[in-house]
Structure 1
Amino acid sequence: MSLKSVICEPQGQHKATVIWLHGLGDSGDGFAPIVPQLEIPNDIGVKFIFPHAPTRAVTINNNMEMRAWYDIISLDLDKRADEPGVRESSSQVEEIIEQEMALGIDADKIVLAGFSQGGVIALHLAPRFKHKLAGVMALSTYMCAPQKFNDETIQKDLTVLMAHGSQDEVIPMFAGKQALDIMKSAGMDVTWHDYPMGHQVCGEEVMVIRNWLIEQLQ
């Protein structure tokens, strides 16, 4: 089943796409307001897609139904990501990438971005995708099944932007650093930024994201 999405069409000709995945309990509407803040030049022709995660029961939230890319059974970081759920959602997001490619957008003009749970999906899918994407943006997030990363990775020269809050109590910064170290060891071009904040995105970070997106997609 295809994921429904909030779509922000480019002002001019469609030349590139950013697929941006939200965090637990949010929706595609959550990050859509960031598009005008980014002020991406119209001539780059960027279409933004903000998919809605499927609704599912989340174990740690008393099995409450909410939008989630995967279940969370435990807060222990080595057990937090439900790997079958991560792989299922990755397959659904992969469909969106392939739909964009079918519209004539090359993989090297597609960025996969994600915050928190969405970042887990981005870091899982992009290295395993059959085509090299323009880049991956992983915000306040961590890696699912890090022990399988080297064996399953196809794209070992990906460009990755990571950002994290040093005061993040939801996903401690060391979890993001672990993902950073694993990807750097694999030879990926990973840029890291951290900010004195919690589990959120700050204004300074938005400007870094803007500049990085322009660099990857122009």
Structure 2
Amino acid sequence: MAAVRKLQTCASSPAGKHTASIIFLHGSGDTGQGLRSWVQDVMVSDLSFDHIRVIYPSAPARPYTPMRGALSTVWFDRYKISRDCPEHLESIDTMCSTLGSIIQDEVNTGIPKHRMVIGGFSMGGAMALHLVCRYHPDVAGVFALSSFLNKDSVAFQAVEERLRTGLSLPDLFQCHGTSDNLVLHQWGEETSVLLRKTGMTTTFHSFPGLYHQLSQPEMELLRSWILNKLPPTTSF
């Protein structure tokens, strides 16, 4: 078996003892450093915590079909940007394995998975949903900002099967701007509805006037949700 490719990452270290971790995935064409800089621009105090390490991985450059095969830093390929087409499962599953090594690295440092939250912006949010719903459902929570899943996503099937057999899943936190492409906002809301119908606990926040971008009110709401999922603690 080929070795799992290591991703480049940057991170925001906690001010105090490291007892929890966030993995925050960027959107298509961006990098971990680019997302971190964007977060710093949006939030006066950065997305920083006394006890939580925030990790920003970078997707490797790969040919991206919606860009006619041009190289782009994307988490997976798409046949086209549509909710109606099949998912490119080969690239999604490969990246789930690659990102799993980052989760394992955190476990190796002593952070249990129930003290981790995974999420992302745009394509990063979709990637986080696949990663959590299908492979790492024992994390503390998952968030998706300006994101959607294809309507027949295998992630829906994984959630339904897990809950049908009495197994739990983390809560989902979603945000989407109403001034984003109208169809994209609709797709994001429909993703939340479909996951809720399968039995997953979801929260969806619409932000009037927000385009396909991050905003301070959105990020402050996310910060509060994260602290609820990963409160300060002296023990696990």
TM-score, with normalisation over the residues of structure 2? 0.84
Residues 52, 67 of structure 1: 8 Å contact kept: yes
The equivalent of 1:185 in structure 2 is 197
Query: How many angstroms apart in 2 are the aligned matches of 1:205 and 1:2?
Result: 31
- What is the RMSD computed on CA atoms of the aligned residues? 2.1
Q: 1:41 to 1:53 in 2, by over 3 A?
A: closer
Shift of 1:125: 1.2
| Residue correspondences, number | 216
Q: Which residue number in structure 1 is paired with residue 28 of structure 2?
A: 24
CA distance, structure 1, for counterparts of residue 82 and residue 131 of structure 2: 22
Partner of 2:141: 135
Equivalent residues of 2:83, 2:150 under 8 A apart: no
Report the Cα distance in structure 2 between the residues aligned to 1:64 and 1:202, rounded to whole angstroms: 30
Structure 1 residue 89 corresponds to structure 2 residue 95: yes
The residue matched to 2:205 in structure 1 has which SS? strand
Q: Quick one: structure 1 residues 133 and 186, their matched pair in 2 at CA, closer, same or farther if it must change by over 3 Å?
A: same
CA contact (8 A) 2:83 2:151 kept: no
SS at match of 1:30: helix
| Distance in 1 between residues matched to 2:114 and 2:57, nearest whole Å | 20
Instruction: Indicate conservation of the 8 Å contact 1:120/1:144, yes or no.
Output: no
Query: Which of 60, 66, 69 is the aligned partner of 1:54?
Result: 60
1:92 partner letter: T
- Quote the offset at 1:66 in angstroms: 1.4
Counterpart of 1:146 in structure 2 is 152
* Distance in 2 between residues matched to 1:52 and 1:85, nearest whole Å: 15
Measured in 2, the distance between the counterparts of 1:183 and 1:190 equals: 7
C-alpha distance 170-120 of structure 1, shift in aligned 2 (>3 A):
farther
8 Å Cα contact 2:11-2:53 kept in structure 1: yes
Compared with structure 1, are the counterparts of its residues 9 and 77 closer, same or farther at alpha carbon in structure 2 (3 Å cutoff)? same
The structural deviation recorded for 1:145 is 6.4
> 1:130: how far off?
4.6
Q: What corresponds to 1:98 in structure 2? A: 104
Identity %: 28
Aligned with 1:69 (options 67, 72, 75): 75
Unaligned runs of 5+ in 2: 232-236
Structure 2 distance, partners of 1:171, 1:8, is 34
**Shift in CA distance, 12/187, structure 1 to aligned 2, threshold 3 Å:** same
| 2:195 counterpart SS class | helix
2:36 partner SS: coil
TM-score, normalised to structure 1, is: 0.90
What secondary structure, in the 3-state scheme, does the structure 2 residue paired with 1:93 have?
helix
Instruction: Give, in angstroms, the shift of residue 30 of structure 1.
Output: 1.9
Write the distance in 1 (CA, Å) between the matches of 2:193 and 2:54: 29
